[in-house]
């Protein structure tokens, strides 16, 4: 007996057709699972190794779903200006902010281990702006303690959304993370105990110099080591470095001058320590908030919030609050005035987005309005 020319007219053909449909549905389900699961993993935790950073929104499946169509959907999502960081924040209903434990007066903890400081206050205002822009009044903040060596990996791994600490913006770091508009400027100098006779790094031959690992100060002192011949001690954080100086394990500590002022002001005996010598570099350290790389939309939101603070006087008010009043919970004041370099940073930030030529006054007592534009060249650094 010969088979009929049309298989669909036989009982066997019905079985074959049913099997084909069932197999097609199974394959579609498997394909859908492969697309959605990595995206969900990216939203709730570190990204799956090897997967691109796309979006936290699951891609739709259709009969025409294929690798080509999925690539097209990703391209369209990126072109639409959707920020992966904002999408992640919206999905989990909270924003994760990094902080330091002892970076007074920018980012440190109080007696109850709660983060505080000028950089932390900047982030609180940025979150308030995001609550309004995202229509998320209940957006929660999750603070995460970060040490210097881990800020890059934690930002890259989506563990934190913003690092709210005094981080120097450098071209080398910008290869891994993004930076907000700069908000402060400092210079790396030395702090020593009173009466040691040390006036500069040239006096440290054969002596021990403490520095925090992973900071720009480490790079600067290493560059001078062949000439000066000191012994280098690496500390894990600011408190550890200051402890070395306080306990006579090191004769000097190299760090940004404003952070040295914070360590001295919060010690039990501030009068025992002094900051000496010229800056170790002819270029200041520009502080900026650390952000996820390749997310210009999120950076634009952060920069806009910072620029508003430069223009309306909030930045100057925060500087007075954290630099000219008793630092809680320690009770000492830094009494540090904004330098010409700091004022220049504020002025540049206040110009973010406005045409050049419009005059702006960003002195500590100014009340600024408008929009601003900024171009910053970061030093190479580490």
Q: Is the pLDDT of residue 198 over 70?
A: yes
Q: 285 and 217 in contact (C-beta within 8 Å)?
A: no
Structure-token pair, residue 361: 């006054």
| Banded model confidence at residue 148, pLDDT cuts 50, 70, 90 | confident
Q: What is the mean pLDDT of residues 159-185?
A: 94
Q: 260 and 252 in contact (C-beta within 8 Å)?
A: no
Which one has a higher pLDDT value, 364 or 108? Answer: 108
Give residue 54's pLDDT: 25
* Residue-wise pLDDT tens digits, 124-146: 999 999 999 999 999 999 999 99
Instruction: Give the rounded distance of the alpha carbon of 181 from its chain centre.
Output: 11
Min mean pLDDT across 60-74, 189-203, 209-223, 246-260 is at 60-74
* Residue-wise pLDDT tens digits, 317-361: 999 999 988 877 777 788 889 999 999 999 999 999 776 645 444
Give residue 144's pLDDT: 95
Instruction: For residue 254, give the H/E element and its range.
Output: strand 252-256
* Rounded-to-integer distance, Cα 111 and Cα 273, Å: 24
Q: Is the pLDDT of residue 267 over 80?
A: yes
* Rounded-to-integer distance, Cα 30 and Cα 211, Å: 53
Q: What is the DSSP letter of 124?
A: H
* Rounded-to-integer distance, Cα 291 and Cα 178, Å: 5
Min mean pLDDT across 3-7, 126-130, 161-165, 169-173 is at 3-7
Structure-token pair, residue 261: 């002022």
* Rounded-to-integer distance, Cα 303 and Cα 145, Å: 23
Structure-token pair, residue 259: 């952070």
pTM comes to 0.72
Three-class DSSP category at 318: helix
* Rounded-to-integer distance, Cα 167 and Cα 365, Å: 26
Q: What percent of the chain has pLDDT over 70?
A: 71
Structure-token pair, residue 211: 């520095």
* Rounded-to-integer distance, Cα 109 and Cα 345, Å: 26
């Amino acid at each position: 007996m010969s088979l009929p020319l049309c298989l669909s007219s036989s009982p066997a053909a019905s079985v074959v057709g049913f099997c084909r449909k069932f197999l097609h549905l199974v394959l579609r389900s498997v394909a859908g699972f492969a697309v959605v699961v990595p995206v969900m993993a990216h939203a709730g935790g570190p990204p799956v190794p090897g997967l691109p950073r796309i979006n936290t929104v699951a891609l739709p499946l259709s009969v025409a779903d294929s690798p080509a169509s999925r690539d097209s959907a990703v391209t369209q999502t990126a072109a639409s200006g959707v920020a992966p960081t904002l999408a992640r924040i919206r999905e989990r209903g909270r924003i994760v902010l990094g902080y330091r434990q002892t970076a007074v007066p920018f980012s440190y903890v109080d007696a109850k281990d709660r983060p505080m400081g000028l950089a932390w206050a900047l982030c609180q205002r940025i979150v308030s702006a995001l609550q309004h822009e995202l229509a998320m009044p209940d957006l929660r903040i999750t603070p995460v303690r970060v040490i210097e060596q881990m800020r890059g990996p934690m930002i890259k791994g989506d563990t934190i959304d913003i690092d709210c600490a005094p981080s120097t913006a450098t071209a080398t770091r910008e290869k891994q993370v993004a930076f907000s508009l700069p908000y402060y400027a400092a210079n790396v100098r030395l702090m020593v105990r009173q009466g040691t006779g040390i006036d500069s790094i040239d006096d440290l031959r054969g002596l021990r110099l403490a520095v925090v690992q992973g900071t720009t100060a480490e790079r600067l002192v290493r560059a001078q080591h062949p000439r000066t011949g000191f012994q280098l001690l690496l500390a894990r954080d600011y408190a550890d470095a200051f402890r070395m100086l306080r306990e006579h394990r090191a004769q000097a500590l190299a760090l940004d001058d404003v952070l040295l002022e914070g360590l001295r002001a919060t010690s039990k005996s501030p009068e025992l320590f002094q900051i000496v010598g010229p800056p170790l570099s002819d270029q200041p350290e520009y502080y900026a908030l650390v952000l996820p790389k390749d997310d210009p939309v999120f950076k634009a939101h952060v920069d806009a919030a910072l620029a508003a603070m430069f223009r309306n006087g909030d930045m100057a008010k925060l500087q007075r609050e954290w630099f000219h009043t008793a630092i809680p919970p320690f009770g000492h004041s830094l009494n540090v005035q904004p330098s010409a370099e700091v004022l220049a940073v504020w002025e540049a930030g206040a110009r973010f987005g406005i045409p050049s030529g419009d005059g702006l006054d960003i002195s500590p007592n100014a009340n600024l309005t408008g929009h601003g534009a900024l171009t910053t060249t970061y030093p190479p650094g580490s």
